[in-house]
Amino acid sequence: MAKRSFRGKSRIFAAAFGAPAAALLGSLALCRALPLAPDVMLFAFFFFGLPLVALAPCAALLAPSCSSAWAGSLLVAVASAALLVLG
């Protein structure tokens, strides 16, 4: 029971913090990686990136398991950070 409750809390943390942070980095990385003009890049971030950040918690909540919610968030965050640093 305690393990289940911990998993529930962990998933909520993933939805509240992990997924939005990953979506923020992912949006920035995508805007940066695509061949976009600076004004289109900023437009894409504010008009598509921010809604993505708002919707990211849904992905974490709907993930098959708590670990997959965290794994997905971490994967997106790490890949995006790598793209931003190396790109």
Binding residue for other proteins (CB under 8 A) from 7, 13, 21, 41?
A: 41
Out of 40, 74, 75, 78, point to the residue binding other proteins (CB under 8 A): 40
Could you give the CA distance from residue 82 to residue 43 in angstroms, rounded to a whole number? 23
Size, binding site for other proteins by CB under 8 A: 26
Which CB sits closer to other proteins, 1 or 39?
Answer: 39
Cβ–Cβ < 8 Å for 14, 62: no
Contact between 14 and other proteins by CB under 8 A: the answer reads no
- Residues 73 and 20: their CA atoms lie apart, in Å, by 8
Q: Which residues bind other proteins (CB under 8 A)?
A: 15, 20, 28-29, 31-32, 37-43, 45-47, 50-51, 53-55, 57-58, 61-62, 84
